[in-house]
């Protein structure tokens, strides 16, 4: 009985290897002459995703489109705003690239360096920091 199990295990390993090899070489699917190459499909999907991310960052004002800055977002509220809410209003979404995030942090650094930004830690019941909230310093 043990011999049968060992033989079956060896055959399964071979079968698995052959299936993976066939799948990776394209022999496991039917071919359609009207299909476009996967590289073109991928490029089209990436371009559409980039356009969606760009469109999400733009707010329509009248007939002209205008991206809101961190300052404009914070200036529009008189209360504290969580850093996460600020990032979302700026247009940063899950999966954003460093190139999309850098302008956000750059503007935050500039506001803090100029003394125009107040940052307050939000603590849980145990006194551990769970987030931060932000607002503009009141102009004197």
Radius of gyration of the chain from its Cα atoms, rounded to whole angstroms: 27
Measured in whole angstroms, the distance separating CA 130 from the mean position of its chain's CA atoms is 21
Report pLDDT digits (tens) over 2-31. Answer: 888 999 999 999 999 999 888 888 777 776
Report pLDDT digits (tens) over 82-115. Answer: 999 999 999 888 888 898 899 999 999 999 999 9
Q: Which residues pair with 129 in a beta bridge?
A: 123
Q: Which residues pair with 64 in a beta bridge?
A: 61
Is the pLDDT at 128 greater than 70? The verdict is yes
Q: Which domains does the chain have, with CATH numbers?
A: 43-140 (1.10.10)
Cα 61 from Cα 78, distance rounded (Å): 21
Can you read off the two tokens belonging to residue 59?
């707010």
Can you read off the two tokens belonging to residue 3?
């011999």
Is the pLDDT at 59 greater than 60? The verdict is no
The model's pTM: 0.50
Can you read off the two tokens belonging to residue 105?
């942090």
């Amino acid at each position: 009985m043990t011999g049968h199990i060992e033989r079956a295990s060896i055959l399964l390993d071979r079968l698995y290897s052959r299936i993976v090899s066939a799948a990776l070489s394209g022999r496991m699917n039917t071919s359609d002459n009207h299909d476009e190459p996967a590289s073109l499909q991928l490029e089209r999907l990436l371009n559409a995703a980039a356009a969606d991310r760009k469109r999400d960052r733009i707010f329509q004002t009248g007939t002209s489109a205008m991206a809101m800055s961190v300052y404009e977002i914070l200036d529009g509220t008189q209360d504290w705003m969580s850093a996460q809410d600020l990032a979302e209003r700026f247009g940063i979404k899950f999966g954003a690239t460093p190139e999309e995030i850098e302008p956000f942090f750059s503007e935050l650094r500039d506001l803090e360096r100029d003394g125009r930004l107040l940052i307050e830690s939000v603590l849980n019941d145990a006194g551990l920091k769970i987030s931060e909230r932000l607002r503009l310093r009141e102009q004197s």
